Amino acid sequence: MVNWYLQSGKDSDIVISSRIRLARNIEKYPFTTKCSENDFEKMLEEIKEITPSLGYGLKFIKLKDIDDLNILSLVEKHIISPDFAAKKNANGAILISEDENICIMINDEDHIKLQVFSAGQDLENLMNLIIEIDEKLGELVTYSYSKQFGFLTVSPTNVGTGMKASVMVHLPALALTGNIAKVLNIVNNFGMNIRGMYGETSQIQSDIYQISNNQSLGLTEEEIVKNVKTIIDKVIEQERLARKYLTKDSLELENKVYRSFGILKYAKKLSLDECKRLLSDVKLGTDMGIIKELEDSKISKLNLYTKPGNLQIYLGKKLDGYDRDIKRTEVIKQILES
């Protein structure tokens, strides 16, 4: 079975992926900021013991038992956060399904962070899945919960449902038409967080942004998902209008995307940043039907296996930065010709 991050989904021309996360803490243990080593050890052992009862084919793996390359690979797939990966301490662990559409981070900021993922826009289905997992887990451990405030978390912004619904979107046409800042400001004014692909606040080279809710207190899970989906639908509409506007000068657009496709296809050495920029143009050209040699699933594969960690895993060997820039072009050719 093809993993979710290599699939296409609803509105995949713009929406790359969807994720829903729930922050939870176990009542009998102090928050992670106050936990002793003994508390952490007991908690990890308890969660390891209940993992088979959760189902979904989840495997319990301590973070310290995952090598650096596979840790980087998980970050590049957006399955674990860079901050969680950076800790790589004895107290961290993950519960992960075989196709990686479910990953539960243990002892990140909170004791438990449930996460579910999907390609394209799929928030409603993800919400149903994560509520199902949360209810099963809630029968096996007692959550920290207040009748007044809801689920108690380390960060006050997560109190309430503890839910964060986020969608990764590709917005190159809004950038090219000079409307990206205006649209993102409007989104921000509607109570949403906007960040770069890995959580940066600045724009990155691939015109990919993560949009998520910034409030969970006083809202139900359904309301959070509905609010995020409403905003995402508006963003999709604006990006598609911008793409339509770009077709008014079709020669310039075709020239831009095919130049990028040509460099991507024939270059002998490519840095990661340049590769991101080229892939952004090529994805735009593919999704607009200009580049007919490719489809979105192949773009997803190119996006994944040109990143440092997954590039090295794809090739089965460790490489320094210079060699990665050379081998990156070889991997691109292999994927394009496959």
By CB atoms closer than 10 A (0-12, 13-18, 19+), residue 152 is buried
**Nearest of 177, 174, 243, 183 to residue 207 by alpha carbon:** 174
**Ranges under pLDDT 50 in the chain:** 198-204
| Percent over 70 (pLDDT), the chain | 97
Residue limits of CATH 3.30.590.10 in the chain: 4-242
Which pTM was predicted?
0.93
CATH numeric code, 4-242 = 3.30.590.10
At 281-315, the pLDDT tens digits run 999 999 999 999 998 889 999 999 999 999 999 99
pLDDT, residue 322, reads 96
pLDDT for position 205:
55
**pLDDT on residue 202:** 40
Predicted local confidence at residue 215, as pLDDT? 83
pLDDT for the residue numbered 203: 42
